[in-house]
Structure 1
């Protein structure tokens, strides 16, 4: 039973991340920056008892590496999810999940372009397959791609690039910071960045959003489960089976999101989305199976 524990944690992690997209879609009437701000505010409150002592002890480290800390907080914590919630206003949950699953492939492209990292032929085949699947999903197979692209899909592509930037920063800088103290510090920075932007949204719309009971419960889910619990589950699983095996489970994100969108919020699933998601996931598996060349 203990041997199955990390796999159960990873399965729960993917389900929680799917819930982030589905609930983000259900909350689409709220402004995107407001959703993101309330999410990180709740997550910050949850993380205070977990990471406050670590953060306090590491304050000299944070001061010494403030630019990298700011970059991590703004890309991965503040604006990645804000862009997801903005995208969900004009595209489907399924499209968001499929495009999010291309992140490993886009990261490989940036690693090659910026750092000259080398990859095997099978990995490049995976890159081509994933990008082809993503283009098919975004355009819905339209012969005129520009006519087929929704604004939300374009915003989600920006979100993917934002997370790639975060991933590159993690690779270079995250090891400098304590795990939980670093997360709390990034949540505090994200709050400081998002709060004034959320208030600008209110000024722009001329009112403070009305948040009912169901919306409050949805926001609480976003702040507690994807922001904190899924992270703890994922980190625990990585400690047991390593990052390579753990990352493969994230390829299930489009599958769970597609099923949830169909069952829970009544989204129509198209053949292009089903085939495109299979091509994207297959491509990601090819890119992540082989190790980089020397």
Structure 2
């Protein structure tokens, strides 16, 4: 159990590194970062997943719509929006807003999957929403009402909305796919989607000059290897040992690790609005997740008794 907790903590540290590195190399445009991240990840995963890919061709052809949904949301749109957001906002803000992802997932599950929300969950959703808005508005109601809000924070909100859609697709279809073979297919489809997008980006902005700098390539390699592959292995191991609901609580550490890294490596300054907003977001997520686990366990007991 202790090893599983360690795996999940390392995973969240890697996720925070995604925001920190994405901010550090944001002289590259967002589609370019996403394209090379996916390409590197594909080359890393291919030796592990090619056998599964070849053995299960019928699974891929039968479920191509779900796989395309994976690629469009979790692989392409989410990452493009995150790296676009980091052009305008701090990695600290991005980490705080991203930590509200479980709340968005609960809301979408309520709307589209007809899952029931309890009063405590509704309170948690409200608290997290207030926290995210407080961070985005920089603790200023005047700024909020004037709608003079950092566009990067809005892109980050859009990113976690897309990730919540991706999570719903995963919940409905993930049991159908072998892990590594599925990742190979999803990344391959993502690359095919990204090729025309990155060509268009280069046609508009010009070919990125920074691609001749070794430090940017180190950043891209980190994004392709760690968040896209190693974090996947560690996360799946942790989830298989302690369950997805308890594992999701570890995501509350994301703003903590991101803030520390931003201060140490990017010289970002932490302000009171970020601290207050971060505490509210994490508190809301804990309320939502804790109550969700209680509901799920209660439903399981009822099924067993019946």
TM-score between both structures, scaled by the size of structure 2: 0.92
Report SS of the residue matched to 1:247.
helix
Deviations 1:171-213 (A, max 9, x none): 1112111111001100000111112211111110133433201
Report SS of the residue matched to 2:210.
coil
The corresponding residue for 1:72 is 70
Q: Check whether the contact 1:202–1:209 (CA below 8 A) recurs between aligned residues.
A: no
Q: Distance in 1 between matches of 2:38 and 2:75?
A: 8
Q: Check whether the contact 2:67–2:186 (CA below 8 A) recurs between aligned residues.
A: yes
Report SS of the residue matched to 1:90.
coil
The corresponding residue for 1:58 is 56
Q: Distance in 2 between matches of 1:208 and 1:253?
A: 30
The corresponding residue for 1:180 is 180
Report SS of the residue matched to 1:210.
helix
Deviates more, 1:242-251 or 1:151-160: 242-251
The corresponding residue for 2:92 is 94
Q: Distance in 1 between matches of 2:121 and 2:92?
A: 25
The corresponding residue for 2:304 is none
Q: Distance in 2 between matches of 1:208 and 1:283?
A: 41
Gaps (5+ residues) in structure 1?
none
2:46 corresponds, among 48, 57, 70, to 48
The corresponding residue for 2:189 is 189
Report SS of the residue matched to 1:290.
helix
The corresponding residue for 1:103 is 101
Please say if 1:165 is aligned against 2:165. yes
TM-score between both structures, scaled by the size of structure 1: 0.96
The corresponding residue for 2:202 is 202
The corresponding residue for 1:226 is 227
The corresponding residue for 1:247 is 248
Structure 1 ranges of 4+ moved more than 4 A = none
Report the alpha carbon displacement of residue 149 of structure 1 after superposing the two structures with TM.
Answer: 1.4
The corresponding residue for 1:6 is 4
Report SS of the residue matched to 1:50.
helix
Gaps (5+ residues) in structure 2?
300-306
Q: Distance in 2 between matches of 1:31 and 1:129?
A: 34
Q: Check whether the contact 1:140–1:148 (CA below 8 A) recurs between aligned residues.
A: no
**Number of corresponding residues:** 292
